[in-house]
Amino acid sequence: MLENYLKWDSLFDQAIKEAKEINFEIKTDKVIFTGMGGSYIPGKIAEILDYNVDYRAITGIPRKVDENTTLIAMSYSGTTSETIQAVKEGLEKGSKIVVISSDGNLEKIAEDHKEKIYFIKVKGLSQTRYSFPVLITPLLKILSTVSINKINLDELKEGVIENKEKYKDLGKKLSTKIIGKIPVFYASTYFPIAIRFKQEINENAKSPAFYGEIPEVNHNEVESYVRGKDLLLPIVIGNESIDDVTASVLNAERIIPPSSSKLKNISSLVLLAGLTSIYLADTLKENPEKLNIIPKCRERTSVIFKG
């Protein structure tokens, strides 16, 4: 499955060209992004950038949306129950709604409410996690209308091209160090990337992994290494002073962002997460495509939100 990540430069190229056709402009004071799993993380990663609006990413159904809210709902499959319910909630409350999806019920809902929903149809690869480029790119194009700093989408592709070969090697090394340990990914600015590493290892390698946000972990979680140091493998993502504190205290592995460009760092570090998880899956002889327990959760969740 390694090839699915290694073709991200061409996938970003495709997504950047298609994003030029997006003409939605945010005109509200508040923007809420909602998605689940691999369709949540693009919205969370977008929090790394700075905006002229109140922007936040959540999972599930937002508690407070109104006419002054732009609700951006992402579900690659278009069938995620929680995200569908969130869109229905947004419609009921009169929010401005953007839906990003490849198919499914969300496309039908958008078709039925053309006057209220701006629909962006995307086409990626077989799994949501492989399709990150086609999800993050249109989202950032929309958010560029309220970004404090200029968003150059080409930098997403450049980050992959510049770091692909280096990260193939680093991914192998990280996966080797993870064997026999439970990795815990820590970060401050790049905290959403820590979440992504955890997701990838969970789903591709079928293995436990966790994350923590710096500096919060320095006030409690670090103490757990008194008993957990032989079990846990701390990995710190970032090179800020506060990241150095956590890394030095825990003698952690380091992942240093390769660029001064946040966009290049986003695409390349997410690529590294995918590569690392695939190398780990290969070592553990796990099939990244096979889902063992997730389908049971989806089936039972859909019953809750039915109707």
Give me the active site residues, please: 203, 219, 298
Q: Which two tokens stand for residue 113?
A: 């409410």
Q: What one-letter code names the amino acid at 171?
A: G
Amino acid type, 118: Y
Angle between helices 191-205 and 262-284 (to 10 degrees): 20
Closest C-alpha among 14, 12, 67 to residue 42: 12
Q: Is the dihedral of CA 72, 119, 40, 9 positive or negative?
A: negative
CA atoms within 13 A on the CB side of 243: 19
Task: Quote the CA–CA distance of 106 and 125 in Å, as a whole number.
Answer: 18
Q: Tell me how far apart the alpha carbons of residues 6 and 91 are, in angstroms, rounded to a whole number.
A: 39
Rounded Cα gap, residues 88 and 72, in angstroms? 12
Name the 3-class secondary structure at 39. helix
Task: Spell out a b/e string for 49-88, using b for 16 or more CB atoms within 10 Å of the CB, else e.
Answer: bebebebebebebbeebeeebbbbbbbbbbbbbbbbbbbe
Cis status, amide bond into 215, omega within 30 of 0? yes
Stretch (H or E) spanning 184:
strand 182-187
Q: CA 230, 245, 208: angle at the middle one, nearest 5? A: 40
Query: What is the 3-state composition of the chain as percent helix, strand, coil, each rounded to the nearest 5?
Result: 55, 15, 30
